[in-house]
Amino acid sequence: MELGLFQEQKLDLVITTELRQAIALLQYNTADLYQFLQEQARENPLIELEEPQVDYNFEAGSYRKKNTSTPVDYKNYINPVDYTAQKKNHLMDDLLEQVNYLQLDEETRTIVRYLVLNLDDNGYLKRSTAELAGELNIDQATIESCISVLHSLEPIGIGARDLKECLLLQAEHFFPDEPLIQQVIEHHLIELGDKKWQAISDKLNVTLFDIQQIFNAIASLNPRPCTGLFNNEPNYLFPDISIKKENGDYTIVLGDRYLPKININQNYLNLKNSHPQISSYIQSNYQNYNWLINSIEQRKNTMIKIASEIIKMQPDFFEHGFSHLKPMTLNDIAEAIEMHESTVSRATNNKVIATPVGSFEMNKLFSAKLKKGNTGHASSTQVKFILKQFVKQENPKKPLSDQKLADKIKEKKGIKISRRTVAKYRDELNILSSSKRKQLV
């Protein structure tokens, strides 16, 4: 092998920092982009942001965006929302308040309050008695006594160690004269969940009708009496794209109207010729400013192109909802607007779209194609909707198996689908198997 220096020409794809940032900018939703602009304004002295002033008219359910804007002083800016009173963990506060009203000695009250603070998000007390006794330096009998006090609080079932105890606490409270319900929970809960009613009937020597009634009673109990104990903040969806129908035509409005206007600070820009080092610094930030403006404009144009093409491909969906959603993939949109599929994926990922039929994440509009008859195709989303309707309409005494559901979808809708695909969609829709959906009455 010969060693030496040689000249060679070759083509390499180099991802620059600007290109990498442009790709990241494309996949930001409106909230992320707003945060990104604030960071850029703090880092780049040439960037000035002007917050849009939106005049909300809550009675009319609309808003008006004023033409005037005010610059934001990020050094001294105070967000009034930060000082708005928030009601967090109101359920936790309610439990602690119940403890205060109980007639207890101070030591027991302190221990019960400690137990309340150790509940998990569903209201269960997952920590062992020995562990709690060791932390408080008391005997386990005292802990058990305090746990009994905890069980007396509302909602009923609070402080249970497991599902069985949670259901037992509720059964004892709501069905005190039905010991058979408590017996089934204590010894046959798994069999009841699998709907092995004949086996339970034989063991308890009762009729299947009685087992059905017991099942209905247990189903009325709450397995998670304190769901969201530590998470009471509502999650809001901010639409990145809104599609509205006006006078028979669809209009596209981007969520960018909530973003601040990006201006350039002329005072800093005038310093670019004052000193070589200052000039280099100002010139670098000026290039970043131009890149930011161009990237945001490119993001806007890409999202509008995608939304426009979705409107063209899905006219029935915007009229009737997911039951009329046609099969559409990312590649279909990419080919229509002459862009790469990865670009469409980034532009639609983590985005919320508001339509006349509801608001949801954009990726729900894209689905696989399933063969329908000899010519057409149906979307997987449409098939899931049909599957859900068939299960809802079935005879509860004789629920349809996955194979029968596949046959019925093919017979009624002309969509060919395998039993395995039905089982997959059923799991995604949280629909139980036919054996677990069966009811006797």
DSSP calls for 88-129? -SHHHHHHHHHHHHS---HHHHHHHHHHHTT--TTS---S-H
Average pLDDT, the chain: 82
| pLDDT single digits (tens) 411-434 | 888 888 889 988 998 988 888 888
Give the pLDDT confidence score for residue 12 in this predicted structure. Answer: 62
Share of the chain above pLDDT 70, in %: 84
Q: Looking at residues 294-300, what average pLDDT do you find?
A: 89
Strand, helix or coil at 355? Answer: strand
Per-residue pLDDT at 315 exceeds 70: yes
Distance CA(109)–CA(154), nearest Å, equals 16
For residue 61, name the pLDDT band (cuts at 50, 70, 90): very low
Per-residue pLDDT at 201 exceeds 80: yes
Q: Looking at residues 25-33, what average pLDDT do you find?
A: 87
Phi, psi (degrees; rounded to nearest 5) at 354: -105, 125
Instruction: Give me the residue spans of the domains in the chain.
Output: 13-77+238-366, 90-219, 369-437
Q: Which two tokens stand for residue 245?
A: 């129908």
Per-residue pLDDT at 305 exceeds 90: yes
Q: Looking at residues 145-156, what average pLDDT do you find?
A: 89
What is the dihedral sign for C-alpha 34, 24, 311, 369?
negative
Give the pLDDT confidence score for residue 375 in this predicted structure. Answer: 61
For residue 100, name the pLDDT band (cuts at 50, 70, 90): confident
Q: Which residues pair with 398 in a beta bridge?
A: none
Q: What is the DSSP letter of 415?
A: B
For residue 311, name the pLDDT band (cuts at 50, 70, 90): very high
Amino acid of residue 127 = R
Q: Identify which of 223, 212, 217 has the alpha carbon closest to the alpha carbon of residue 179.
A: 217
Q: Looking at residues 135-139, what average pLDDT do you find?
A: 87
Residue 179, classified by CB atoms within 10 Å of its CB into exposed (0-12), middle (13-18) or buried (19+), is exposed
Give the pLDDT confidence score for residue 62 in this predicted structure. Answer: 42
Q: CA distances (Å), 35 to each of 32, 259, 347, 393, in order?
A: 5, 10, 18, 47
CATH classification of 369-437, choosing from 1.10.10.60, 3.40.50.300, 1.10.150.120, 1.20.1300.10? 1.10.10.60
Distance CA(186)–CA(169), nearest Å, equals 11
Q: What is the DSSP letter of 362?
A: G
| Better-predicted residue by pLDDT, 327 or 75 | 327
Q: What is the DSSP letter of 4?
A: -
| pLDDT single digits (tens) 9-28 | 776 655 566 667 777 788 88
For residue 130, count other CB atoms closer than 10 A to its CB. 10
Give the pLDDT confidence score for residue 226 in this predicted structure. Answer: 79
For residue 126, count other CB atoms closer than 10 A to its CB. 12
| pLDDT single digits (tens) 364-406 | 888 877 767 666 677 788 888 889 889 998 888 888 898 989 8
Q: Looking at residues 195-203, what average pLDDT do you find?
A: 85
For residue 68, name the pLDDT band (cuts at 50, 70, 90): very low
The DSSP H or E segment spanning 149 is: helix 140-151
The residues, any chain, with a CB within 8 Å of residue 309's CB and separated by 6 or more, are 333, 336, 337
Distance CA(117)–CA(214), nearest Å, equals 34
Q: Which residues pair with 51 in a beta bridge?
A: 70
For residue 255, name the pLDDT band (cuts at 50, 70, 90): confident
Distance CA(183)–CA(218), nearest Å, equals 11
Residues in the chain: 441
Per-residue pLDDT at 86 exceeds 70: no
Q: Evaluate whether 362 touches 348 at the Cβ level (below 8 Å).
A: yes
Q: Looking at residues 259-282, what average pLDDT do you find?
A: 81
Distance CA(211)–CA(217), nearest Å, equals 10
- Chain centroid to Cα 70, Å, comes to 34
DSSP calls for 184-235? HHHH-HHHHHTT-HHHHHHHHT--HHHHHHHHHHHHTS-S-TTTTTT--PPP
Q: What angle, 0 to 180 degrees and rounded to 10, lies between the N-to-C axes of helices 330-337 and 341-348?
A: 110
Give the pLDDT confidence score for residue 13 in this predicted structure. Answer: 54
Phi, psi (degrees; rounded to nearest 5) at 242: -120, 130
| Better-predicted residue by pLDDT, 277 or 354 | 354
For residue 206, name the pLDDT band (cuts at 50, 70, 90): confident
Per-residue pLDDT at 82 exceeds 80: no
Per-residue pLDDT at 309 exceeds 90: yes
